[in-house]
Amino acid sequence: MYRKLLSSNKKIHYNYDIISKIEVGLILCGYEVKSVKQGNVNLNDCIISINRYTYEIYIDNLYIKPYRNISSNILHYNPTRQRKLLMHKFEIHKMLNQVKDKGKTIVPLEIYMTNKKIIKLLICLVKGKKIYDKRAKIKQRDLMRDINRELNNYYETTSNCFCPSICWCR
């Protein structure tokens, strides 16, 4: 399946543990669609909220830069307005029950275009990481980097080639 990534929220993997992912639709105006397809969208400070009474889900602070060839009829364009997401009611109800647990929230991960030129949003149910979890992950990543560096140095120095003094094998 073809997916053209338009924008992603890279801090999610550092700040949260991802529990589950779900793909949702997004209600946009025509000029917003054109702007999003050009990649003029920012997911960094987005908030996803669920209305408990009507079972509707919204995204707030999704910044979509105004389209440069926008009509003069649209005078008061708000780039961070509240936008409705398209999900089935049973999926919303399931997410709402999971969010009731302490420490869990819903955040947007990616916005992309499918092969049918439809703009989709990938949202995640996440749980926040503690500071010591982040430090442990950084320490583990540094340790693996050092191990890989040592292995590469070892294989470079102990080559089993039988070439003349100028070796082109390395």
Q: What is the pLDDT of residue 72?
A: 61
Kind plus residue range of the DSSP H or E element containing 145: helix 131-157
Dist. CA 83–CA 27, nearest whole Å: 6
Question: Domain of 38?
Answer: 3-128
Residue 120: which CATH number? Answer: 2.40.280.10
| pTM (two decimals) | 0.75
Plot region of 61 (φ>0 → left; ψ -120 to 50 → alpha; else → beta): left
Q: Are strands 3-8 and 83-86 parallel, antiparallel or unpaired?
A: unpaired
Q: Given this model, what pLDDT does residue 143 score?
A: 92
pLDDT for 87 equals: 93
Contacts for 61 with CB less than 8 Å, ≥ 6 apart: 45, 46, 47, 80
Nearest to 67 by CA among 38, 27, 46, 43: 38
Structural domain contains residue 44: yes
Helix (H) or strand (E) holding 26: strand 16-26
Structure tokens at 14: 């550092």
The count of domains in the chain is 1
Residue 150 falls inside a structural domain = no
Q: Which helix (H) or strand (E) holds 94?
A: helix 89-99
Q: Tell me whether residue 168 is in a domain.
A: no
On whether residue 162 sits in a domain, the answer given is no
Residues in the chain: 170
Give, for all 170 residues of the chain, the pLDDT tens digit: 678 999 999 888 888 889 999 999 999 988 888 889 888 899 988 989 998 889 899 999 999 988 877 766 666 778 888 999 999 999 999 999 999 888 899 999 999 999 888 999 999 999 988 888 788 888 998 999 998 888 888 766 665 665 655 655 55
